[in-house]
Chains A and B, each alone.
Chain A
Amino acid sequence: MDLSFILVQLLSGLTMATLLFLVASGLTLIFGVGNVFNFAHGSFYMLGAYLAYQAATVWHTDFWTATVAAALGAGVLGMLAESLFLRRIYGRAEEAGFQILLTYSFILVIDDMVKIIWGTEYKSLLRPAGLRGSVQILGETTPTYNLAIIGIGLAVVVVAWLVLTRTRAGKVARASALDREMLSAMGVNVPLTMTLVFGIATALGGFAGALAAPLRSVTPGAGIEVIIDSLIVVVIGGMGNFWGAWLGALILGEVTAFAVILVPEWAVVVSYVVMVLTLIFKPEGLFSHSPLRKV
């Protein structure tokens, strides 16, 4: 293994890490801000991929319009899911358990809906014009599109994070994680805040799905693969922790990129091994400072 080969693998791992981070940051946003565990987050990723396919291939929009449409679509569907269903179980006894069950039922329903609408055969999406080539790095080629994902993905997540931490709206959203009653007494529409946060998070997931569509084939099972990967990411990083999700995605992306080369048959298993190792030595995740584990 020479240096340029390692570099190309690193970049490929970074591309995967960026996509994973987009998904995992949405998952961790809903959890950290809304205290909601959205098992179906991967299904919004899948919906994003299908919506982008629908826009670009069936309606012939250009790739970037399709991507934005996919993010918006996934965001709206997420807001509907939150305001029609999830909102009804807030504050119930065993809320955490019911959230898991309800969002698990979303997975089953969304998966079959996708099959009904788009069929079971694999769909694919062309890379955007202008990003179909590749660049030479130390004599090895790497697709331009992969490099673009790394840049765009990071920019989107950083902007979303700046909105949450630097603006008033973001502060309100984060306050709702701490004390909803006080916030409501101060005149903030808490239910609306929750719905919006949910929408932003599922839009991030849908955006990732659209970006990933040209790289991986679009299938009904895609949501399940992604949710399990992003759960591993948040377990490694510490759930509800933004930078933890970033570190977790980076570790998982790179480990998988090299595992695919070294142990192709067992690459999928390696990611679980990383998680188990983290669990043994730091059960609260690498980035968590406080034992914030009781839900």
Chain B
Amino acid sequence: MESIKRYKEAAFWAVLFMAFAMVPLLRASSYEIMLASHILVWGLFAVSFNMLWGGTGMLSFGQALYYGLGAYAVGMTFKYWGDAWFLPSIVLGIVCSVVLSILIGLLIIRVSGVFFTVMTLAFGQLAWQITFRWYGVTGGDDGIQGVIPPGILGDRIFYYYFTLVVVALSILVLKRISGSPMGLTLRCVRQNPDRVRFLGQSVKRNQLTIYMISSAFTALAGGLMAGVDNSIHPNMLYWTTSGEVILMSVLGGIGQFFGPFIGAGVLIVLEDMVGARTEYWPLIVGTIMMVMVLLFPKGLVGEVRKLVDRFRSRAPARG
């Protein structure tokens, strides 16, 4: 049974990958390609965010900090050193994120629950304030415009495939981590931290590691986004960005590994269809979040699974 489940999941990912790979071949406009890139990048952001929250119960409200760090690493090297630095600066953003997440992580993993959330929020807002105000270095609220990747990466379709491959590989790696002994330990931490401690595992060290991993992949998503949008701005670090990725996770299902990816797709398509036509998009976002929390806490993927299970249990048992 376990292996069948694994094959099914692999098949699901393969189909999803192929579907995204087909997008440019279907005579999609450059706008539609950009939309698909947004789904991929936010999908990576949401899946790595959910590793932290869904996997371990650490609800961070400040992941936009690392998303912005990844984007600004690309934007600032571009502004000061030129476009040859595009690819190295994505790696640079990840390295900076790892260092910063360890420093911040050491401070904030000492507390849990609501306090953890409040502190992540505070660090995120601190980073936003600095980015927003430090005109001389970050460009302040003008952000940095015209960030075009060098050479063949500057081609929109090529960059799309580059994004697709990087995101797919990252999600594979995250999946492996989630299924590793460490991932298992962390799920146990969420359910019963004391027992994990009695079994000789360091709860805090595991939490710090997963915080670091999640932040690193979030920075990668930010770096990729700089090339998709060709511009960066301080709002990437604002707390509503963190809120958006939280909503994607709730929408898809926090208990599911790939749920947030679906959530990202649904929210981005919805924002494209509805958000562009109304100035009250936050009202819609807030209402969706309220409905999900109150009525569908397992998220879309979780609720569909529940339906499927109910249907199966009614059908005559097979084998």
Contact of A115 among B57, B111, B280 (CB under 8 A): B280
Asked if A168 is at the interface (CB within 8 A of a chain B CB), the reply is no
With A97-B53, A231-B118, A231-B122 as contacts: A108 and B129 at CB distance below 8 Å: no
B153 interface residue per 8 A CB criterion: no
The answer to whether the Cβ of B282 comes within 8 Å of any Cβ in the partner chain is yes
Which of A97, A108, A232, A239 interacts with B283 by CB under 8 Å? A108
In the bound complex, do residue A85 and residue B129 qualify as a contact, i.e. CB atoms below 8 Å apart? Answer: no
Specify the chain A residue showing the minimal Cβ separation from B246.
Answer: A101
For B294, the chain A residues whose CB sits under 8 A away are: 85, 88-89, 102
Interface core residue of B53, B114, B250 (most chain A CB under 10 Å): B114
Known A101-B246, A112-B283; judge A295-B289 contact (CB<8 A).
no
**How far, in Å, is B74 (CB) from chain A's closest CB?**
24
Residues of B near A111 (CB, < 8 A) are 282
Q: CA of A178 to CA of B111 in the docked complex: distance in angstroms?
A: 21
Complex partner residue of B286 from A96, A108, A272, A284, CB under 8 angstroms: A108
Given the known A-B contacts A85-B294, A239-B115, are A112 and B289 also in contact in the complex, defined by CB atoms under 8 Å? no
Nearest residue (CB) in A for B294 is A88
- CB neighbours (8 Å) of B14 from chain A are none
- The chain B residue with its CB closest to the CB of A279 is B107
Residue from B246, B293, B297 having most chain A Cβ neighbours under 10 A? B293
Is A295 a contact partner of B280 (Cβ separation < 8 A)?
A: no
Looking across the interface, which residue of chain B has its beta carbon closest to that of A106? B286
The answer, among B113, B115, B280, B286, for a CB contact under 8 Å with A235, is B115
Is A64 close to B, CB under 8 A?
no
Cβ distance A67 to chain B, nearest Cβ, rounded Å: 28
Over the window 29-73 of chain B, the binary record of Cβ atoms lying under 8 Å from chain A Cβ atoms (1 yes, 0 no) is 000000000000000000000000100010101000000000000
Interface contact B289-A108, CB-CB below 8 Å:
yes
A225-278 residues with Cβ-Cβ distance < 8 A to B are 228, 231-232, 234-235, 239, 265-266, 268-269, 272-273, 275-276
Q: Most chain-B CB neighbours within 10 Å: which of A97, A266, A283?
A: A97
Cα A109 to Cα B61 in complex, Å, equals: 18
Residues of B within 8 A of A293 (CB): 111-113, 115
Q: Is B202 located at the chain interface by the 8 A CB criterion?
A: no
Q: How many A-B residue pairs have CB under 8 A?
A: 115
Contacts of A161 in B (CB 8 A): none
B184 within 8 A of A: no
Closest to A112 in B: B283
Q: Which residues of the partner chain A approach B111 to less than 8 Å between Cβ atoms?
A: 283-284, 293
B128 to chain A, nearest CB (A): 10
Cβ-neighbour of B285 out of A106, A108, A115 (below 8 A): A108
Bound together, the chains give a CA A231 to CA B126 distance in angstroms of 13
**Contact partners of B108 in chain A: CB under 8 A:** 279
Indicate if the CB atoms of B115 and A105 lie closer than 8 Å: no
Residues of chain A in range 66-125 having any CB-CB distance to chain B below 8 Å: 85, 88-89, 92, 94, 96-102, 104-109, 111-113, 115-116
A37 at the interface (CB under 8 A from B): yes
Verify A283–B110 contact, CB threshold 8 A: yes
Q: Which residue of B lies closest to A275 (CB)?
A: B122
Question: Can you identify 8 A-B contacts, CB atoms within 8 angstroms?
Answer: A37-B114, A88-B294, A98-B297, A104-B246, A108-B286, A116-B280, A276-B107, A283-B111
- Contact residues of B with A, CB < 8 Å? 53, 57, 59, 61, 107-108, 110-115, 117-119, 121-123, 125-126, 129-130, 133, 239, 243, 246, 250, 280, 282-283, 285-287, 289-290, 293-294, 297
- Apart from A104-B289, A228-B125, what are 13 other A-B pairs with CB-CB below 8 Å? A88-B294, A96-B114, A99-B114, A100-B59, A105-B290, A108-B282, A112-B286, A231-B118, A275-B122, A279-B108, A280-B107, A283-B111, A293-B111
